[in-house]
Structure 1
């Protein structure tokens, strides 16, 4: 089944995507992924359950690379243990994929703990620790007939990036330091311009009337920063571009962006229908996902042009989960 998903993902890639030889594939995956992850969790490698109790497990993902990789990690590990798995990629935004979960069109999907509170629970004030964010997000989901598995070590949260040269020239260390500059332009993706945790929230929280917005699709802010078309930008902390760039992230002392560890959301009926091994397997994978590992896998897909299926397989093999 992973081969079918691999083919479907390749069809979504832009024109001009190079076809890698087997040698290039192994080398790129080994450098980009294997070198970035710790050893496997003991007791999980080599599990070979053939139980089909509970039927098909349907995993959903949102519309970006990191989610596709997570979906493949979960699916391939479960398939290796004898479970029937279906992956539905590109379902949509948080609100859309949440509706799909509640309607039973999917059983589980990877979600960000802060997003649960910000988008679904409509919280205007976020907890001050990652642990408390997870606790409150899980409690919210429990009240709706869902539950959350264990969170990942890594977070993928918004952050404000500037070039290293610009930061040194203007002595920038925190987001609040932007206030001492003249008019500057901030790159923001369209959906986040009016958000309380995007451009509008940033300007209001840190009193930055001098910061004007420039709408840029996700990914385009990096070239704009390099060219000086903008002076600061909204980025994601696991963006592969951050692994090799002349950028620095400004600290965000007021915690506007919250904490965004990944924790799969599962309907309770699905959770109880399947053996505990299913959820132990997903927890074992998530326990290995550091920021370094997430960036490396995102880079392998976005830059090296490997498919999420290929990248996930390499990660699981290196960590003895296949």
Structure 2
């Protein structure tokens, strides 16, 4: 239970006071979340905070990849979901070049969403980037510091999750950008890349920078010198008419939640779910109560 206590203590240190609102007969807002731990937790944070503030909301978790959940949003099956700012530009807008800062990435992503009748609320302090992880001994053996250095290791088996083989954040783009011609891919579901690295089934793997496994120091992150993974803060993507229907208090609740989501807080909550095996709903509730956002 130490991980849960750790993030509760962190939450108390960063506490704030939540507000209140009255749904007033407004339509139910459907919140979506993608199919991995961090999204489940953020979805629960949004749903519980809004419900406690008096809004009528429903959470649909585990919807799918970026393109799938974006399709659910644009077809009005859901009304909002948490998205990574760089992903908006790279996957949805199809941008080949990325802005030089987190602020520019958010601004450009919000401008893109505006053309679709959507908007993005305040971004989180934390960001969750894709990264390339290896075992420290593997990095030391071949003198690896950057992704491009993988060429020094000769034939490399790379662990990648099935939804990220193609596209601007995917395996094939990484191989092409860094000239990793002697690389073989092994498809692994999210979370399985760490035991695969530990057991020597892969030499390197796609990881997320807020993965709780990285806190132990058992893995080395290779520097992305070409910036292919961009900046990835999280912001709710929401239909603009939903904000009008729900009133200004709705946006304020979500912004308060997002303002608390630091790297450490998110990593500890991910750890509470993935390692301690607590339900995402329980982890979210504990965090929100500790910060005074729910009663």
TM-score calculated relative to the size of structure 2: 0.94
CA contact (8 A) 1:161 1:232 kept: yes
1:49 aligns with 2:21: yes
Question: For residue 9 of structure 2, what is the aligned residue in structure 1?
Answer: 35
What's 1:313 paired with?
285
Deviations 1:139-189 (A, max 9, x none): 000011000001111111110001112222222111111122221211111
Q: Any conservation in 2 of the 1:117–1:123 contact (CA below 8 Å)?
A: yes
Residues of 2 paired with 1:141 and 1:283: CA distance?
18
1:275-290 equivalent positions in 2, closer than 5 A: 275-290=247-262
| From 169, 178, 198, the counterpart of 2:141 | 169
**Residues 53 and 275, structure 1, Cα contact 8 Å, conserved in 2:** no
**Unmatched segments (≥5 aa) in structure 1:** 1-23
Superposed CA RMSD in Å reads 1.6
Residue 244 of structure 1 pairs with residue 224 of structure 2: no
- Alignment pair present for 1:214 and 2:186: yes
The CA distance in 2 between the partners of 1:83 and 1:196, in whole Å, is: 37
Query: What per-residue deviation string (whole Å, max 9, x for no partner) do you get for residues 11-59 of structure 1?
Result: xxxxxxxxxxxxx6xx65223x213444123xx33x2333425332221
Q: CA deviation at 1:193?
A: 2.0
TM-score calculated relative to the size of structure 1 = 0.86
| Partner residue in 2 for 1:73 | 45
Query: In the alignment, what sits opposite 1:187?
Result: 159
Could you list the runs of 5+ residues in structure 2 that have no partner in the other structure? none
Superposition deviation, residue 201 in structure 1:
1.0
Which is worse superposed, 164-173 or 249-258?
164-173
- Secondary structure at 1:311's aligned position in 2? helix
Deviations 1:47-79 (A, max 9, x none): 233342533222111111111111111111111
* Matched position secondary structure for 1:258: coil
- Cα shift at 1:119: 1.5
115-124 vs 144-153, which deviates more? 115-124
Return the offset for 1:245. 4.4
Conserved? CA contact 1:36–1:293, under 8 Å: yes
Of 274, 277, 283, the residue aligned with 1:302 is 274
Deviations 1:60-118 (A, max 9, x none): 11111111111111111111111111111122222222222222222111111111111
1:228 and 2:200 matched: yes
Return 48-57 or 58-67, whichever deviates more. 48-57
Q: Determine if the alignment matches structure 1 residue 157 to structure 2 residue 134.
A: no
In the other structure, the counterpart of 1:291 is 263
What is the aligned partner in structure 1 of residue 63 from structure 2?
91
CA distance in 1, matches of 2:43, 2:109: 21
Q: 1 CA distance for matches of 2:73 and 2:153?
A: 45
Other-structure match for 2:110: 138
Structure 1 residue ranges (4+ consecutive) displaced by more than 4 angstroms after TM superposition: none
Q: How much has 1:244 moved relative to structure 2?
A: 2.1
CA contact (8 A) 1:60 1:107 kept: yes
Aligned position for 2:232: 260
Q: For each residue in 1:276-305, what CA deviation from the matched residue of structure 2 results, as whole angstroms up to 9, or x when unmatched?
A: 111111111111111111111111111211
With over 3 angstroms needed to count, the CA separation of the structure-2 counterparts of 1:194 and 1:85, relative to structure 1, is closer
1:222-279 per-residue CA deviation (whole Å, 9 max, x = no partner) reads 1111122221111111112112241011110111011111100010110111121111
What is the distance in 1 between the residues matched to 2:274 and 2:95? 32
